[in-house]
Amino acid sequence: MEKLAVQGGRPLTGSLRIQGSKNAALPILAATVLAEGHYSIQDVPHLTDISVMLQILTALGAKYTHQDSSVSLDTTSLSSSHIPQHLMGQMRSSIFLMGPLLAKFGEVKVYPPGGCAIGERKIDLHLQGLEALGAQVFENEDHIYCVADQLKGADIKLAYPSVGATENIMMAATLAKGKTIIRNAAKEPEIIDLQEFLNGMGANVCGAGTSVIEIEGVHRLKATGYRVIPDRIVAGTMILAASMTKGDLRLENVKFEHISPLVKIVKECGVEIDHTHDIININSRSLVGSIPFLETGPYPHFPTDMQAQLMAFLSLSSGTSTIRETVFDGRFQHVQQLKKMGARIQTNRNEAIIHGSSTYQGAQVEATDLRAGAALVLAGLAATGTTIITKIHHIDRGYQQIEKQLQQVGASIKRIREET
């Protein structure tokens, strides 16, 4: 087991290139099972979740190499639609394979997906969508089996704009007979990226980024090449890292429109941010202001994946802020850890009141999930003394060697082995 040691008090300065998006790369990799051939996918970060997805594809019969940020994938020998239980249990996003495997092979067997413990994350919308396309779903105690001789287009209205369900239905519908319409679809940028990748394979998908997506099924798809969009959550995390350390940071490979909800809030708090094309500059020199109220929600609202990091930031503000979490019911586990470092936060169900003017002190804390771990890294960068963060395997699920990225821009942070 490894942990991070962060010595706080150093402003972040210099330039940093943002990695490709984990949440875009995972469904794109899943979509490769829809067509045999050789794929070249660029800007795929080296993350635990990516590694698990590639291991699953290998277990299904594919072959791959992942060098630098490029994945070369050969699916010509793909022969199985049975995802191994031990791999599926490691990652929530393994559920993305249900739709494409069902469309390709006419059947798929999956197990309950793993991932961060951030509240209830049902897959009922995924299953309902596949059933609407004509699949029969059999649920047993330990696995789910789906079968369909021929998927058929359907008009599907999601009860909630779930990103995963939207993407699973999109992928399955590409090879369905006729037209599929997804209403109340998720609008996240990663949905648009998947649409572009699928259309590059020869699919006929339109409407991604809006609440209505239409897919006209085709008989066959082909392998293609693609470059994944930048990771908006990593970009947002680094914006807050610069802001909390009174830094002067330049971020490259950023899509500004994808992070505008965060940028708007941070600028309102008094941080100087400007951008040109795919470059963002952050300059923070003084104590930042608070925000009266913020609510997380599906894109284009403030992302739940930035809630923990923003809370760490607001603890250093000059006033009192309130955050309401509406997406996941168990996403305040980081509060207790931030309080160990000096944050003053009160929670009541899905609301947190953050009292600013706090001072972070180094402490030993635990990364309870991916984004909670990122928030603790941010607090450690701004703290007096040394912060030790354990269970950093959560952080490795979404940030590619976060310590090396931060070292590049002046942070004192290192990865060390825990004593056994």
Active site residues: 116
Q: Are 203 and 171 in contact (CB under 8 A)?
A: no
Block residue for tokens 């505008």: 260
Burial of 1 (0-12, 13-18, 19+ CB in 10 A): exposed
Residue-wise burial string across 244-263, b where 16 or more C-beta atoms lie within 10 A, e elsewhere:
bbbbbbbbebbbbebbebbb
| Beta carbons within 8 Å of 76's beta carbon, 6+ residues apart | 36, 37, 38
Element (H, E) at 268: helix 260-268
- Spatial separation of the C-alpha atoms in residues 210 and 206, rounded to whole Å: 9
- Spatial separation of the C-alpha atoms in residues 347 and 339, rounded to whole Å: 12
Number of helical H runs and strand E runs in the chain: 13, 23
> What does DSSP assign to residue 92?
G
Structure tokens at 360: 């972070």
Q: Are 351 and 323 in contact (CB under 8 A)?
A: yes
DSSP 33-80: GGS-SEEEEES----HHHHHHHHHHHHTT-EEEEETTEEEEE-TT---
Given phi > 0 = left and psi -120 to 50 = alpha, else beta, which region is 70?
Answer: beta
